[in-house]
Amino acid sequence: MTKVPFTYTADSFKVAIDCIVFGFDKQELKLLLVHRNMEPAKGQWSLMGGFLSQEESLNDGAKRILYQLTGLEDVYLEQVYLFGDINRDPVERVISICYYALIKLEDYDEELGQNHDAHWFPIKARPELIFDHEQMVDAALYRLRRRAGYQPIGFELLPEKFTMKQLLDLYIAIFDRYDKPFDEGNFSKKILSLGILNKTNEKLRGNSKKGSFLYSFDQAGYESVKEKGFRIIG
């Protein structure tokens, strides 16, 4: 695109991108945070973020920041909200677009995370965050729960093959239903009726001698039914 030799007359400010990175450890929903290594708020807990360059789109900027922190590409990434309070950053006017990402913990680059002083926290036991990052996390959680209710994005947090119990535990964690869990029998019946799972001949051998069958997400099955609309939860 050819640039027109003209300059707009307007106030200038920075545009930042902050990433809310979720993972699942088979029991709890986790949040990836970094120890901030610069002022202001040096040493406090923060989301991973950075400034957008003039040569990249919003999505490309979010992918770059996520890759720098996790070493991962081609992960589920969704824009959540724009935060533009005038005084949200104590240094200068900064508008931030926040994204959330869903990653498999087994794919996460631990060494790279250590280089950034990044740590996983249970979502319900996260430390106090800087600036308006707590509001960002809440907005991302709200969006995640809405999406997970009618889209199979939760599978992004599971290994390729999983048991029905592992899938149930994931939805309990996402929707914070520890005090009133979903009924396992009803959940299994509902999820199997949607036609979005493949049952394998493999079993996970644990405490039970019988073991539990492993399932995988059926992308083709999902494509065939998604236009009709359905609810996974609710």
* Residue that has been written with the tokens 């959680």 in this structure: 141
pLDDT for res 71:
94
* Residue that has been written with the tokens 């065939």 in this structure: 224
The structure's pTM equals 0.93
**What are 114-129's pLDDT values in tens digits?**
999 999 999 999 999 9
Q: Are 32 and 45 in contact (CB under 8 A)?
A: no
Q: Alpha-carbon distance 15 to 197, whole Å?
A: 41
Q: Alpha-carbon distance 6 to 205, whole Å?
A: 68
Mean pLDDT of 220-229: 87
Q: Alpha-carbon distance 73 to 58, whole Å?
A: 16
Q: State the number of CA atoms in the 13 A half-sphere of 68 facing the CB.
A: 16
**What are 166-199's pLDDT values in tens digits?**
999 999 999 999 998 888 899 999 999 999 999 9
Angle, vertex CA 148, rays to CA 126 and CA 190, nearest 5: 125
Which of 62-76, 134-148, 197-211 shows the lowest per-residue confidence on average (mean pLDDT)? 197-211
Percent of the chain with pLDDT over 70: 97
pLDDT for res 99:
98
Domains of the chain: 14-150 (3.90.79.10), 158-228 (1.10.10.10)
pLDDT for res 209:
66
Q: Which residue has the higher pLDDT, 229 or 87?
A: 87
pLDDT for res 4:
74
**What are 37-88's pLDDT values in tens digits?**
889 999 999 999 999 999 999 999 999 999 999 999 999 999 999 999 999 9
In this model, does residue 1 exceed pLDDT 80?
Answer: no
